[in-house]
Amino acid sequence: MIITITIGAYNNCRGKGPVSPSGTIGGSGTGLRFGDPASSIYYRWLALRWTGSNLSSTYKIRVQVRPQDTWGSGDTGYVNPADGSAGWYEITSNSGRVPLSSSFANTKTLEIRLELIGGNDTPILHDITLEAGASDTIVLDTTPPSDITGLSGYSDNTKATSLTSGNWYSHTNPYFEWNPATDPDPSSGFAGYKYYFGQDPGGTPTTITTATSYNQTDNLTTEGTYYFKVVAYDNAGNESQVPAQFQYDFDITIYDDEDDSWVEGISGGALSFDGEDDYGAIDGLYYNIAGQIKALTVSAWVKLPPDDPNRGNWSIVDFDRSEYFSCIAGIPKTSYHGHGDYVGFHTTDQREKTHYMWSDAKIADGNWHHIVWVFDSTEQHDKKIYIDGKLDASTNGHGGNNLGYGDDVRYGFVGDGSEAYNFNGSRNEIYFKGTIDEVRIYHRALDKKEIEKLYSLYLQ
């Protein structure tokens, strides 16, 4: 698309500047010419100003203009400067200004003819000034490049393992690539791509690249859902309309030195804990700041033996209940550990206030149960326990305060309590008995629909 825009300031056209008049001001039939047909410059003709003497409604001078790209000939093409009609504009005062018709917005030349009315050369024009803005012709590109197609994910840049969007993986350096985009309107030129990779579902692609791939070179350490989004853009700033998106769900890595602890799970293998010495150490995640946790979701599938008096007893995921949080299954109600049938959620906030919470439902029935512990400091009921996709219990535990006393660094464990200042460090040695699968940690509060979707994902 071609459009014309005004880019210059007003020019006074009186024989100086980029627009020069030719001719003389005088009696009947006098003409003036402004502009240059041989130039590449177009003008927006804005207004006529004049000064004179002995001008009146009886003794006056009338004016017509001819806006074109070449010099005209004869009397054809002249119009009233004020409205573009076929008539004349009459100058009846000794000074004044008339805005020119907007139809004179983009021509190379403007010719003016003047005729004396009233006789005897009594009226005199001392000066005519033409106000004009220099114009240029530019290309306006308003067409975005095509949407990205063929976005694929891999375990790393060797592309050894192909990934599926929305599935969970433990690869710390995921790699993404896509097909080259096309630009239907090449006027401004194709520029490249903008991408986003992070845990904000509303994140906007802003990082620029010319490549058709992205490799996460720094090892991922924070578990949860990541979003890769990419758009194409051109030199006019147009972006493809719909970002291509890949959801990469990054699972925690646990330490376990007992190969025989792996059993059949809700999805693939699961970890069986014997209640004697089994545990898992969480790598790459720790807390060390007061009030560090504004929102949190921990999710796991848990199965407790129904008739075993030593079932449960302690944590599913623990970062020290008296420092940060502990998510527990198989304990008595009103106790923070011991053998029982209930789910617990014990947390400490930045004021060093520890709050204890239990489920209403029992889960020690020998079946798999999906348990989700949710904390959100912005909610009135800031602590919630979901069992099998349904809200089981909620309470106001911390009154708007974030979790984390922050007195000590804490690394986490699965199946035991934490006192650890480093990975696989000190523990409580109070061991969980049961089976655990698909442990996930999010540093945001999953909503009801997300939890329902997460639960139903493993029932398909």
450-457: long-range contacts (C-beta < 8 A, 24 or more apart)? 451/299, 451/372, 451/374, 451/386, 451/389, 452/389, 454/299, 454/370, 454/372, 454/389, 455/370, 455/388, 455/389, 456/389
> pTM for the whole thing?
0.51
Token pair of 194, please? 């903008």
Strand, helix or coil for residue 448: helix
Q: Which fold has domain 2-139?
A: Jelly Rolls (2.60.120)
Residue 154 sits at φ, ψ, to 5 deg, of: -140, 165
| d(C-alpha 238, C-alpha 452), whole Å | 38
Of 299, 307, 439, nearest to 366 (Cα)?
307
- The one-letter code for the residue type at 87 is G
| Unique residue bearing structure tokens 């054809």 | 76
Query: Which residue intervals of 197-271 are DSSP H helices?
Result: none
| d(C-alpha 300, C-alpha 393), whole Å | 17
Residue 451 sits at φ, ψ, to 5 deg, of: -70, -40
Looking at residue 11, what is its pLDDT? 36
Find out whether 440 and 298 touch, Cβ atoms under 8 Å.
Answer: yes
- The one-letter code for the residue type at 404 is G
Residue boundaries of the structural domains of the chain: 2-139, 152-250, 254-457
CB hemisphere CA count around 170 (13 angstroms): 9
| d(C-alpha 349, C-alpha 291), whole Å | 7
Rg of the chain over CA atoms, in angstroms?
Answer: 39
CB hemisphere CA count around 51 (13 angstroms): 4
- pLDDT under 70 in the chain at which residues? 1-30, 119-121, 134-140, 187, 221, 251-260, 460
**What pairing do the DSSP bridges indicate for beta strands 168-169 and 244-250?**
parallel
Any idea which architecture 152-250 has in CATH?
Sandwich (2.60)
Find out whether 248 and 169 touch, Cβ atoms under 8 Å.
Answer: yes
**What pairing do the DSSP bridges indicate for beta strands 354-355 and 342-348?**
antiparallel
| d(C-alpha 2, C-alpha 60), whole Å | 42
CATH 3.40.50.880 fits 254-457, yes or no: no
Residue 52 sits at φ, ψ, to 5 deg, of: -165, -165
Neighbours of 144 (CB within 10 A): 21
Looking at residue 337, what is its pLDDT? 82
| Unique residue bearing structure tokens 């018709």 | 101
Token pair of 252, please? 């925690």
| d(C-alpha 268, C-alpha 458), whole Å | 11
| d(C-alpha 22, C-alpha 20), whole Å | 7
Whether 2-139 shares its CATH topology with 152-250 is answered no
Looking at residue 390, what is its pLDDT? 96
CB hemisphere CA count around 431 (13 angstroms): 14
